[in-house]
Structure 1
Amino acid sequence: MRCATVSSASAGRSSASALPPRRVRRHGSSVGALLGLVAVLGCLLSLPAARGEDGYRLWLRYDPVVDPAVRQAYVEALGEIVIAEPTGPEMPAATLAAARDELVHGLRGLLGTDVPVRPTATAPGALLVGTTANAALLALVTETDLRAAGPEGYIVRQVKVDGRSRILLLANHEVGVLYGAFALLRHLQLGEPLTGLNLVSAPRIQRRLLNHWDNLNRTVERGYAGQSLWDWFILPDYLSPRYRDYARACASLGLNGTVLTNVNANALVLTPAYLEKVAALAGVFRPYGIRVYLTARFSAPKEIGGLPTADPLDAGVKRWWRAKVDEIYRHVPDFGGFLVKANSEGQPGPQDYGRNHADGANLLADVLAPHNGVVIWRAFVYDANVPDDRAKQAYTEFRPLDGQFRDNVIVQVKNGPIDFMPREPFHPLFGAMPRTPLCAELQITQEYLGGAANLAFLAPMWSEVLTADTQAAGPGSTVGRVVDGSFDLHGISMIAGVANLGSDRNWTGHPLAQANWYAFGRLAWDHTLPPAAIANEWTRLTYGNAPAVVAPLTRMLLESREAVVNYEMPLGLHHLMAEGHHYGPGPWVDHLPRADWNSVYYHRADAQGIGFDRSANGSNGVAQYATPVAQLWGDPARCPDEFLLWFHHLPWDHRMRSGRTLWDEICLHYQLGVDTVRAWLPLWAGVQDRVDAERWAHVDALLRRQEQDARTWRDACILYFQTFARRPIPNGVEQPEHHLEYYKAIQLRYVPGDPSAK
């Protein structure tokens, strides 16, 4: 029994295949170590030859290239790694070492042989790695290439040197070398040819951040993959190897910032004891080009500073924040800045003192500016005392402040005007604040899309928003161009994703939810990438290049977000989820103290019809958009079906484009969501022999759970809305399994990520 236990644990660690540590400490006698090794090997030899894969390696698996001809071509082209010495100022060693280690580790796995690192090329095939600080490498590219690569980009190209073919990996700065190393390894993992290789790439957005809604007690708000990655109690004394693997995974996507703490902030993270812990994490992340940020609780001067006020115009408050920021930078010299949630959902803020959001943000901006830090001020605000449409309130508060924020303030705006619903129109602030840099806040964790129990690939959702045309200055004023700064020509740009990560061995709970972390990173680098290309790429990196696996899994990914929309909130319906945990249906919720916390506030179903009227005849929320968009969405005859009930309250017999009545259309969408999920089960069964048993079984169980969840959503919502519509369920829609009271009585307890769970 003891032998089996040791073997199982050893196998689990081995499957991670993370980078080896740079230093190994040896303890005890060599005889004891040898005996221990013999015992472990004896146990391992008794294990079955096949071993499951737990998903820890993510898309950085680096398994041997299957095609022997392709593998041999790679070996011949990449026989050596040459790290070119700079001929000018020395580049930071840590980031270059990270790139070198990744190349050595990745090529060893892909090629099945060690690739030596030498100071000069001695073999016909060699990989030349360095920055433009090396004159010899600089001579191999053009000024146009260097401008295209920019400060973070890279050039990976087949070149001729002394008549011999080489692979060049060149960047203007060391972090570009790191990103280029990951790009080259990705190219090899996908089995792409090296002949004619020419990759020149640079990020479109400067700051590409993950927002961790992690608390200091290791709970994660809206987190569905275990505890927080950050073990605050043990830090800074022990640095888990997982921190380095997190940094590697982020850097492989070009992510360059991480907000460590929840937007519902705890001021304790700004105290000296916790700043030491933050500094320890920053030290692990720094070689991978990742800067740390913290959430700042606006009332910190009172809570940990002993001041009687946190008024942003108070001189004492300004002095306190200046001293605190100086202290932070002594611990973390490359600290990125603060993310602030203020005067939202009970969080303290400048409005507590009669000030506005610009007053609060500028206070922090002024003390961060000498350190080149930024303030990220969230626009997720709504006031229970304001009777206006909740979807309008952020625009109402922030639009008049355009141009009043300091240059180092970025206003972080959710993709839609409510709260990460399965589908929303783009937020009206995009395009409405031309003098203020805006960051798009996307949610990777699936708060309203089934958590880590349901498959919902979100790249189509994000791309839908980023490619949406705000029409703020005519055609072409897309959300993506607003965010990357190219539309309003801001000198600063940012995109943020609320992370879906936790302590689960596979990082994201659902094995396929890793695709959302990956997709966010790829879109943060280049928001024009097609979702289908990202899905195909992630599938091949994570499950191999076999078409028999790639085709069905890519199809499932690309269908999944629309499937969830259909079985949860179709045709523009929104905020129908159960209270607190948000996991299941709750269109009947009507008892919460704030009107805009209740589902009935949003769908407004009655005997006449359903939907929230945001047209000129209702709240006129549509008027917050540019005229061409407002005219399109404000007309029920022209409004796209996917936003119809977001902007209009329509009769149950309203005739849809399909020719069906609105009631029938709603019911058929709910059924379509169920049918789509159900169709995945045979698709996944068809790849069982081609996917490792551990991950296959995990996904299979969750897909079956999702089919059940989809039926619950369908039946609960149709039965509830039928009490108003008083029409029969149309042909083609399965009859509900239970009566309405059954679904209303469901009580889920201790749902992961629910901040209200006790």
Structure 2
Amino acid sequence: MRLLLGWIALVLTVIGAVPQARAETGYDLWLRYRPVEPEYRERYATAFRYLTFYVRSEVGETARVALLDGLYGMTGLVPPPSDRIGANTLLVGTADNPVIAALNLPLAGLGREGFVIRSLTIDGHRVTVIAANQEVGLLYGVFRLLRQIQIRQPVDALDIADAPKLQVRILNHWDNLDRYVERGYAGQSLWDWQKLPGHLDPRYTDYARANASIGINGVVLTNVNANAEILKPVWLEKVKALAGVFRPWGIRVYLTARFSAPIEIGGLKTADPLDPAVQAWWKAKADEIYRVIPDFGGFLVKANSEGQPGPADYKRSHAEGANMLADALAPHGGIVMWRAFVYAAENPEDRAKQAYTEFQPLDGKFRDNVIVQVKNGAVDFQPREPFHPLFGAMPRTPLMMEVQLTKEYLGFATHLAWLGPMWEEVLQSDTFRPKAGTTVADVIDTPVRPGAVTGMAGVANIGSDINWTGSQFDQANWYAFGRFAWDPDSKADAIAQDWARMTWGGDAQTVEAILGMMRGSREAVVDYMTPLGLAHLMATGHHYGPGPWVSDLARPEWNPVYYHKADASGIGFDRTKTGSDALAQYAAPLAKRWGAPDTTPENLLLWFHHVSWDHKMKSGRTLWEELLTHYDRGVASVAAMQARWEGLKDRVDHRRWEEVRDFLAIQHDEAKWWRDASIAYFQSVSKRPLPAGVAAPAHDLDWYKAIDNRYAPGNGK
């Protein structure tokens, strides 16, 4: 009777959690769980007629409710519990359960987060099994099974064994304590610190559920431009409350550590990492944090970059700074994620070289619980960059790749830019270290020694907007990050197909049109913003719109002219031996290939070379003509996306359709702005006429220079 009453209560909870008629705002993300078509409904309902669930922990109960939620939403039925294994039973449990153990499933090599989903026959009965070594694996297995149903895949002959290739799969929230989000384009921070710990917004649970569904297992709650206040006891109680919400979903919380915290909140006169008093302060602070949050993940640190304090202030190395924090966390199993994003005005080197110059000589000098967090490219989340030269160059140091979901340089929330192809492009790049065929993915998912940390970090694009990410299509980048962090060898197109089906429904014509928009969207942004290897042409500070003419900022590497170096003779940054020699930081085969304009891929040409305006391109056009062609192609690509979306008016719910329509119109206007402003400026420098058929900019250069967007969102405070 107790089992029956408990089951009834659980069913009522699940049914109550699935709205019968919910407006399509985008809030549901890829977890919409709308009813499947009748032919699929019967198939799935029959396959999972009964449920036998062996769980003991809070995580296991979360997995159970997530499963019932999804099955009820898609089939309208909740399979009742069964103490015996009969026909069409869904059997869920861990390897230490005798029933699961007797099945001899291949769980040994899948770790604590892996799972098996298999169709079996037990005592003559057809059974589907989800098994794992620990209950967090069951949670991931449940979401994988629900995905199978969402994308209308068969479930009668399942044989899936999967485990994450990376241990730390983490979102970095650049959220300030006043709820302002640096580089955030989706409203305020989710974390309502003023109401914590007394009130837990239900969105915290929905956020955790979305992350768990794609395998994300860590969250850095605070901005890398850190505030030491977060380490005070009153704030740690607030963090504890969030950790309590996230824990049942397999997610640990992390915080950013301001290197000067011992001075700012500790009363010390120094933050020198070799000072015994500083070391003692951090050890005591770590002990305090773990008393409050026993499963605290560790610290993310930005040091000696963009004015942030760090060990260099005391003539210490990054390794000495990171190791001091690592020693404080080590007794508790915590890690330090130390960012390699460093550049300084007093460093005369090419900005693209600075991280390698400072970090590569430190290879092998970091503690075992330090992982160096390296951006995907050598400058700063540009629409296209070559992969960062540190990948493959620090074979004795764990490296994790950092990508940016929030599109600071790709049009904020209103420009449709599917980033999956960008990340796949980087991850599949051949580093030639230690040998040809060693990709960036291989570097980050192969432990440098047994037990070494592996990981991937994404700068979150999530905020308080009803659709979470500021636009419907930016949800795809959150989803893709989780999938790539689980498996860096994933394919962007397969991820896009799954996301489109789960987010927009199973109609084949709708899905294909959406995929057509997504596939070319990032390249469109590259074309109208930074074609042919150009970079960092965005306006000052807020990075909203074009500013290739900016040349008067205090630090040289803040100015777009620093990056394009356009003059009457040509355009592009010479990174060969005759220039900054940044090419020397790459393996010899790449340095040779990229060392000459004719063997450099044209999409990176101006990243590595200063090229004459009259240089002949593969198309037969001059560089000047090719540049104009790319600008026009970018604008035309957005117009094509608009046309595709217009054709879906009667196939997509009205509210979301209108929002995407409006954003595409904004993108088209801004693509023309980018095109016209860039052409007006580069024509003023190159003194080249516009070829026949190329439209002149709508206004003169001074008109574009006068545009003022100082209040654009997301600028740092």
Shorter-chain TM band: over 0.9
Note if 1:100 corresponds to 2:71: no
The answer for the alignment partner of 1:31 in structure 2 is: none
Aligned partner of 1:55 among 2, 26, 32:
26
User: What is the CA distance between 1:151 and its match in structure 2?
Assistant: 1.9
Letter paired with 1:514: Q
- Secondary structure at the aligned position of 2:458 is classed as strand
Aligned partner of 1:621 among 579, 582, 587:
582
The answer for the alignment partner of 2:655 in structure 1 is: 694
5+ residue gaps, structure 2: 1-10
User: What is the CA distance between 1:69 and its match in structure 2?
Assistant: 2.0
Q: Is the Cα–Cα contact under 8 Å of residues 482 and 488 in structure 1 kept in the other structure?
A: no
Using the alignment, how far apart are the partners of 1:666 and 1:21 within structure 2? 59
User: What is the CA distance between 1:378 and its match in structure 2?
Assistant: 0.4
Using the alignment, how far apart are the partners of 1:475 and 1:418 within structure 2? 24
Aligned partner of 1:132 among 89, 95, 98:
95
1:260-659 alignment to 2 at 5 Å? 260-486=221-447, 491-659=452-620
Using the alignment, how far apart are the partners of 1:749 and 1:295 within structure 2? 28
Letter paired with 2:389: P
Letter paired with 2:72: R
Tell me the alpha carbon deviations over residues 68-124 of structure 1, each in whole angstroms, 9 at most, x when there is no partner: 222111111101211126xxxxx4x100000000011110111112222333345x2
The answer for the alignment partner of 1:747 in structure 2 is: 708
- Secondary structure at the aligned position of 2:35 is classed as coil
User: What is the CA distance between 1:489 and its match in structure 2?
Assistant: 6.2
The answer for the alignment partner of 1:111 in structure 2 is: 75
Letter paired with 1:515: A
Change over 3 Å in CA distance of 1:723–1:489 after alignment to 2: farther
Letter paired with 2:24: E
The answer for the alignment partner of 1:75 in structure 2 is: 45
User: What is the CA distance between 1:473 and its match in structure 2?
Assistant: 1.4
Change over 3 Å in CA distance of 1:101–1:539 after alignment to 2: same
User: What is the CA distance between 1:730 and its match in structure 2?
Assistant: 2.6
Q: Is the Cα–Cα contact under 8 Å of residues 155 and 170 in structure 1 kept in the other structure?
A: yes
Change over 3 Å in CA distance of 1:573–1:84 after alignment to 2: same
Using the alignment, how far apart are the partners of 1:589 and 1:448 within structure 2? 16
Using the alignment, how far apart are the partners of 1:288 and 1:746 within structure 2? 46
Using the alignment, how far apart are the partners of 2:230 and 2:352 within structure 1? 32
Q: Is the Cα–Cα contact under 8 Å of residues 443 and 499 in structure 1 kept in the other structure?
A: yes
- Secondary structure at the aligned position of 2:599 is classed as coil
User: What is the CA distance between 1:51 and its match in structure 2?
Assistant: 6.7
Using the alignment, how far apart are the partners of 1:491 and 1:401 within structure 2? 17
Q: Is the Cα–Cα contact under 8 Å of residues 439 and 493 in structure 1 kept in the other structure?
A: yes
Letter paired with 1:704: A
- Secondary structure at the aligned position of 2:597 is classed as coil
Tell me the alpha carbon deviations over residues 416-448 of structure 1, each in whole angstroms, 9 at most, x when there is no partner: 010000000000111111110001000000000
The answer for the alignment partner of 2:6 in structure 1 is: none
User: What is the CA distance between 1:454 and its match in structure 2?
Assistant: 0.6
Q: Is the Cα–Cα contact under 8 Å of residues 282 and 325 in structure 2 kept in the other structure?
A: yes
User: What is the CA distance between 1:546 and its match in structure 2?
Assistant: 0.4
Aligned partner of 2:198 among 215, 237, 240:
237
Tell me the alpha carbon deviations over residues 624-678 of structure 1, each in whole angstroms, 9 at most, x when there is no partner: 0000010011111100001100000010000111111000001100111000000
The answer for the alignment partner of 2:35 in structure 1 is: 64
Using the alignment, how far apart are the partners of 1:232 and 1:507 within structure 2? 18
Letter paired with 2:25: D
Using the alignment, how far apart are the partners of 1:51 and 1:292 within structure 2? 31
- Secondary structure at the aligned position of 1:130 is classed as strand
Using the alignment, how far apart are the partners of 2:221 and 2:485 within structure 1? 19
Letter paired with 1:240: D
User: What is the CA distance between 1:138 and its match in structure 2?
Assistant: 2.0
Using the alignment, how far apart are the partners of 1:117 and 1:425 within structure 2? 53
User: What is the CA distance between 1:732 and its match in structure 2?
Assistant: 4.5
Tell me the alpha carbon deviations over residues 220-253 of structure 1, each in whole angstroms, 9 at most, x when there is no partner: 0000000000000110000011000110000000
1:153-172 alignment to 2 at 5 Å? 153-172=114-133
Tell me the alpha carbon deviations over residues 564-614 of structure 1, each in whole angstroms, 9 at most, x when there is no partner: 000000100001000011010000011110000000001000000000000
Judge which range, 172-181 or 76-85, deviates more.
76-85
User: What is the CA distance between 1:485 and its match in structure 2?
Assistant: 2.0
Using the alignment, how far apart are the partners of 1:357 and 1:59 within structure 2? 40
Using the alignment, how far apart are the partners of 2:710 and 2:326 within structure 1? 42
Tell me the alpha carbon deviations over residues 367-398 of structure 1, each in whole angstroms, 9 at most, x when there is no partner: 11000100110000012111111100110001
Using the alignment, how far apart are the partners of 1:481 and 1:78 within structure 2? 38
Change over 3 Å in CA distance of 1:404–1:50 after alignment to 2: closer
The answer for the alignment partner of 2:669 in structure 1 is: 708
Change over 3 Å in CA distance of 1:642–1:279 after alignment to 2: same
Q: Is the Cα–Cα contact under 8 Å of residues 481 and 487 in structure 1 kept in the other structure?
A: no
What is the root-mean-square deviation of aligned Cα atoms in Å? 1.6
Q: Is the Cα–Cα contact under 8 Å of residues 671 and 714 in structure 1 kept in the other structure?
A: yes
- TM-score w.r.t. the length of structure 2 is 0.96
Q: Is the Cα–Cα contact under 8 Å of residues 47 and 156 in structure 2 kept in the other structure?
A: no
User: What is the CA distance between 1:530 and its match in structure 2?
Assistant: 1.0
Tell me the alpha carbon deviations over residues 163-216 of structure 1, each in whole angstroms, 9 at most, x when there is no partner: 110110111111000000000001001111112111111111111000000000
